[in-house]
Amino acid sequence: MKRVNSTSLTEFILTGIPYPLRLRTFLFVFFLLIYILTQLGNLLILITVWVDVQLRARPMYIFLGVLSIIDMAISTIIVPRLMMNFTLGITPISFGCCVAQLYFYHFLGSTQCFLYTLMAYDRYLAICRPLRYPVLMNAKLSTLLVAGAWVAGSIHGAIQAILTFRLPYCGPNQVEYFFCDIPAVLRLACADTTVNELVTFVDIGVVVASCFSLILLSYIRIIQAILSIRTADGRRRAFSTCGAHVTVVTVYYVPCAFVYLRPETNSPLGGAAALFPTALTPFLNPIIYTLRNQEVKLALKRMAGGHGTGCQV
């Protein structure tokens, strides 16, 4: 266990996720494919939104483009390091890189929470206030809302990183996790972590609970509005625009709540649950939004046919 002196660590060792040794090669290839497909899928969504003028002019798809950027970044921060767990030998992570990984994960993760909330609010306005929607959610406002989400996320990430690494770490340096996250790192602190655990629970709990509550409230109103639509075709179209978002929110929030809002345990289930927001959700988002969203599928067809140019009205 390497130390600068008797009180300060210079690096950590990430133990990764438990796995049978016979699956080492399979898991390495599996997560390599997940990473490559995540980058390609989200890049495709980003290019589609940028190229297709019909999508680019709508706030919902501006939000979707930003979501793709976040998914690509989260995957890059976590998955390559996870893959190193399936190679021979132990590769430590430096103290500074551990701080950066924790900061950027919580920065991007909380920004994603805020973005999901904005997307739900956008759907609420589009379905429940269709006549006033162009006024209530225009390009300028959507840009300001996205900027606000980035700023709030960076503040949240900074708070979590500063609180976690202000504590002394004097050994051991073995993090029982596949990346530098708050619960796993705090177990190694050479000081009382009660305040940190309480602040983490309250801070993350407030972000998750408030965002999820606003999303839930938005969709309660949306469902009420959809059920009042007289035609079956109108109801189907309205549900299709929301189905992808509901699926993505469910896949993201349930594992996050399991990881951060439960009594502290060192269970393998926590690591398995954390794979969803860090590796699997960024991979699934492009699939969900292309398979469940008719407008994105039509935009992909237009782009493939060379009709996504600016001459379209």
Nearest to 85 by CA among 177, 8, 170, 159: 177
Cβ neighbour number for residue 224 with a 10 Å cutoff:
11
Tokens representing 194?
A: 């009660």
% the chain with pLDDT above 70: 88
Six-digit token string for 215: 């999303």
What is the pLDDT averaged over residues 232-253? 75
Q: Which residues contact 19 (CB under 8 A, 6 or more apart)?
A: 27, 86
Contact 124, 218 (CB under 8 A): yes
What are the pLDDT digits (tens) for 31-89? 999 999 999 999 999 998 888 887 888 888 899 899 999 999 999 999 999 998 888 77
Q: What token pair was written down for 109?
A: 């993760």
CA 19/CA 38 separation, integer angstroms:
23
CB atoms within 10 A of CB 208: 19
Count CB-CB contacts under 10 A for residue 289: 24
Round to whole Å and give the CA distance between 48 and 250. Answer: 25
Work out the angle at residue 63's Cα, subtended by the Cα atoms of residues 151 and 209, and round it to the nearest 5 degrees.
60
User: What DSSP element (H or E) covers 14?
Assistant: strand 11-14
What angle do helix axes 95-128 and 194-227 make, rounded to 10 degrees? 20
- What is the per-residue DSSP string for 47-95? HHHHH-HHHHTSHHHHHHHHHHHHHHHHHHHHHHHHHGGGSSS---EEH
- The per-residue DSSP string of 223-236 comes to HHHHHT-SSHHHHH
pTM listed for this prediction: 0.87
Determine contact, residues 238/127, Cβ cutoff 8 Å. Answer: yes
What pLDDT band is residue 90 in, cutting at 50, 70 and 90?
confident
- 157-195 pLDDT tens trace: 999 999 999 999 987 889 888 999 998 899 899 888 888
Q: What is the total residue count of the chain?
A: 313
Mean pLDDT to the nearest integer, 136-158? 93
Task: Give the CATH H-level superfamily of domain 11-301.
Answer: Rhodopsin 7-helix transmembrane proteins (1.20.1070.10)
User: Residue 207: is its pLDDT beyond 90?
Assistant: no
Tally Cβ neighbours within 10 Å of residue 262: 14
Report the candidate in 84, 98, 103, 82 with the shortest Cα–Cα distance to residue 9.
98
